[in-house]
Structure 1
């Protein structure tokens, strides 16, 4: 019976500049213990400045390296055909100011959107009507209704996005988590497609 090496590439990995990438960093390996230990130490690539933000490692490159070391083994691949390395860049000193600026911009923008929405649907008149239905009185302040409503609006947003700062309320992904996941998947497909396109041009 032929001996087999099973390789499953990871979808992506965040790396640092000049970091050396070994097979254990980008793949799960299943083989004999001695073979597995040796393959985990196999050098694959090094992150350089010219790689910019993304670098794609293709499964064919990995197979080629494995064939040279263990030509008598069969190599079975599982999962994705590429691993995308994303270079983690150092934040500049003005990064905190940038975060505060973006946060303030989003806060003001979302507040204006909520205010304009309430104005468009005549929310104040609706609340006054509800106040009259409950108390039977007109012309009195309805802050007793508006203040809890405002807190409830914020609390509802927390429940909807399932986050309080970095802490999640439960394990269920929020709509924002799903959209960010879809965005990351689109980036991976785009980077992989254009990387393969460049390789094909070089071969031609």
Structure 2
């Protein structure tokens, strides 16, 4: 019995405009060695302006094209049934003024959120009572508690997001990266269903 050709479709890829999408770009191929070079070089789609910024390559398109050239081989699909191709158009570099403005807005917004939270939970009163419990004295601003607390809050945020500018402290992804990954995965899944031309043809029939 002949060894089948195994195809594992990628979740998503990024290509430049007017790119020629070959099977090796959207999937990993293994199996019978004499078929692999030809199968990998098969052109599945030519990106054009009408594709806009997303193209969905369905596994059914791959199977059709492979069987048209090699009707005698057996194909085994592994992984996703579609690959979402993101067409990356050339974008201008954002101006330093725009980046600075966004950074200032985010900084002010984060500072206001932290201050409002501390006001809601009466953090100053808690620190005053803590100072009284430890020293027996009443003061309005127990700085020996407030200053280390503020420094620790900043260090805690840095460690929580696992980044200091471009420096990463360890290989563990930050919560923000996890959320972005989950959002991108959900977006690709949605696009794979809504923009799949093969499924649209089935519905039209």
The TM-score normalised by the length of structure 1 is 0.89
Unaligned runs of 5+ in 1: none
Unaligned runs of 5+ in 2: none
Matches of 1:38 and 1:66, distance apart in 2: 9
C-alpha displacement of 1:167: 3.3
1:199 aligns with 2:197: no
CA contact (8 A) 2:57 2:196 kept: no
1:12 aligns with 2:12: yes
Deviation readout 1:1-49 (Å, 9 max, x if unpaired) = 1341110100000111112222111111012223212222222222222
Matches of 1:138 and 1:12, distance apart in 2: 61
Residue pairs, 1:27-106, within 5 angstroms: 27-106=27-106
CA RMSD of aligned residues (A): 2.1
Matches of 1:36 and 1:175, distance apart in 2: 40
140-149 or 41-50, which deviates more: 140-149
21-30 or 98-107, which deviates more: 98-107
CA contact (8 A) 2:22 2:42 kept: yes
Matches of 2:4 and 2:136, distance apart in 1: 81
- Give the corresponding residue for 1:107: 107
C-alpha displacement of 1:155: 1.1
67-76 or 163-172, which deviates more: 163-172
C-alpha displacement of 1:81: 0.3
Deviation readout 1:42-101 (Å, 9 max, x if unpaired) = 222222222222110000111111012211101111110000011223232445444333
1:137 aligns with 2:117: no
